[in-house]
Amino acid sequence: MREKKNSTIKLIALGGVGEMGKNMHLVEVDKDIFVVDAGLMFPEDEMLGIDIVIPDITYLTENSDRVKAIFLTHGHEDHIGALSYVLRQLNVPVYGTRLTLALAKAKLKEQEYSGLTNFIEINSDSMLELDSVDVSFFRTNHSIPDSVGICFHTSEGAIVHTGDFKFDQAATELYKADIGKMANIGDSGVLCLLSDSTEAEKPGYTTSEAIVAREMCDAFYNAPGRVIAASFASDLIGIQHIFDAAYESGRKIAVVGKSLERIYHIALDLGYLHVKEEIIIPISEIKDHADKEIVVLTTGSQGEPIEALQKMARQAHKQVNIEKGDTVLIAASPLKGSELFISKTVDMLFRAGANVISGKRMIHASSHGSQEELKFMINLMKPKLFIPVHGEYRMLKSHVKVAKSCGLTDQQIYIAEKGETVEIKDGKFQPGAKVPSGNILIDGSGVGDVGNIVLRDRKLLSEDGILIVVVTLTRRERKIVSGPEIISRGFVYVRESEKLMEDSEKLVREIVEKNISKDSFDWSSLKQDMRDGLNRSLYEKTKRRPMILPIIMEV
């Protein structure tokens, strides 16, 4: 505990609560603001055409002089993927472990960020003595090595952010949590614990990676021909299992997919992935070996590994296609919203002659702790106050129940909404004002320029298409000199709808002529009449409502 008394302690989530992804939590001590993680979120269904989503950091840019540091808990995209956007607006040092910083740097490069960076490597023994607080770290067990939790030591006790974690008692050296250190932090007095809620709805313990490793090995042994394994590049432990199972079962392994190349090489170079070099072969050489001696590993971020499998099933992959007798392992849990996509892919793989091993066998484990592990964290940290983070609302809610079962009371627990300032005063929560928070949508190179209006238009366009009416009038006499011409896209198949188009043209002509003969003529009411008339007539004939866009040209 610090001797210098801290006057104010505030916590604000800019992302990651009430949603999965774009994790970013602020810890404010006195005048200083510390940022834990800068993650991205992948767009949801209704965000048509959007590439990624990042947190709104208005609060940080408005208080830029107070922002002292960004701490990264680990190298997953939902924790580091917004960093380039933050650094474009804030010049602030970034702290992280060796692998995390290496992956963050690679991500910055991928996102074409070429500005200044001040990256400071820490390890779990580091102790930073900053102006308002001391900061220390503790190793956690997650699906990627070098994951840490962060501890802000204030005069009132420690503020602990767990990062993502589980407690796999069979974890290998690279993945081991430092339970002793956590216990010490707990003994020295934790004021508030912010803890990962991802699997708070799941009773018991998360399946051990040791079981996954064994199942994977079994599957490799029993596969009658080639093994095609698909996995997310960020799930380094899963990739480790695949390499290990290949080695154990006497198979060579060829890697396809560009995202893997990056993470894989970084992890390999830094010693976070252990592979016998001799089992790796270029994809071009798989034909030189018996089918029973081959593993093809396909990977990437988000949908990429599954898209690659689809291509292989459709015999459209550039490097390798599914053959009868192949065994496909999908070593990943489907992301919410991608279930249909995965089940279609599985169908295509079966059709192509493969056997598919997915969800039902234990070839993949969650990278987050279930209820008993969450209790373990609470019991180690013995916090005075508790805030569930990293999860959708029902997960946070479920985590509250878990915390209560450990003896915490309602007064000690708080579900903070996104953007809500929560002050800790005299050992109690004091909810405060809201700061700007929300989704900044990134589409192409545009950051935040796609908002509700554009999305609403995309939605309308996606449902019934668009119908454009152009007519050229003379300015003075208001005479039609060209058109009306009608063009549609995404509405009806035009070649089979000539009558509909002709009728529409006729209708527009009538509307225009009626309008221009009026004394009280004006452009906007002509356009409105065209819209209304067409809307009514098209709905009557087709029961569809395309977007209608009247364009009047003057000469």
Contacts with a second copy by CB under 8 A lie at 18, 44-45, 48-49, 201, 336-337, 339-341, 343, 346-348, 350-351, 356, 360, 392-394, 397, 443-446, 449-451, 453-455, 457-466, 468, 470, 472, 481-483, 485, 487, 489-493, 496-497, 539, 541-544, 547, 549, 551, 553-555
Nearer to a second copy, 118 or 462 (CB): 462
User: Smallest gap, in angstroms, from Cβ of residue 358 to a second copy?
Assistant: 10
The span from the CA of 503 to the CA of 68, in Å, is: 66
The span from the CA of 436 to the CA of 58, in Å, is: 6
Q: Is 281 exposed, middle or buried (0-12, 13-18, 19+ CB in 10 A)?
A: middle
Nearer to a second copy, 271 or 490 (CB): 490
User: Smallest gap, in angstroms, from Cβ of residue 483 to a second copy?
Assistant: 6
User: Smallest gap, in angstroms, from Cβ of residue 479 to a second copy?
Assistant: 10
The span from the CA of 272 to the CA of 360, in Å, is: 29
Question: Could you tell me how many residues make up the chain?
Answer: 555
User: Smallest gap, in angstroms, from Cβ of residue 242 to a second copy?
Assistant: 23
Nearer to a second copy, 201 or 244 (CB): 201
User: Radius of gyration over alpha carbons of the chain, in Å?
Assistant: 29
SS3 sequence of 115-178: CCCCEEECCCCCEEECCCCEEEEEECECCCCCCEEEEEEECCEEEEECCCCECCCCCCHHHCCC
User: Smallest gap, in angstroms, from Cβ of residue 7 to a second copy?
Assistant: 33
Residue 181 token pair: 């250190």
Going edge to edge, which strands form the sheet with 446-447? 52-55, 439-443, 446-447
The span from the CA of 128 to the CA of 125, in Å, is: 10
Place of tokens 């840490």: 148
Nearer to a second copy, 154 or 488 (CB): 488
Nearer to a second copy, 290 or 487 (CB): 487
The span from the CA of 489 to the CA of 528, in Å, is: 21
Nearer to a second copy, 277 or 496 (CB): 496
User: Smallest gap, in angstroms, from Cβ of residue 461 to a second copy?
Assistant: 4
Nearer to a second copy, 268 or 466 (CB): 466
Nearer to a second copy, 54 or 256 (CB): 54
Residue 484: what are its φ and ψ, rounded to 5°?
Answer: -70, 140
User: Smallest gap, in angstroms, from Cβ of residue 260 to a second copy?
Assistant: 24
User: Smallest gap, in angstroms, from Cβ of residue 450 to a second copy?
Assistant: 7
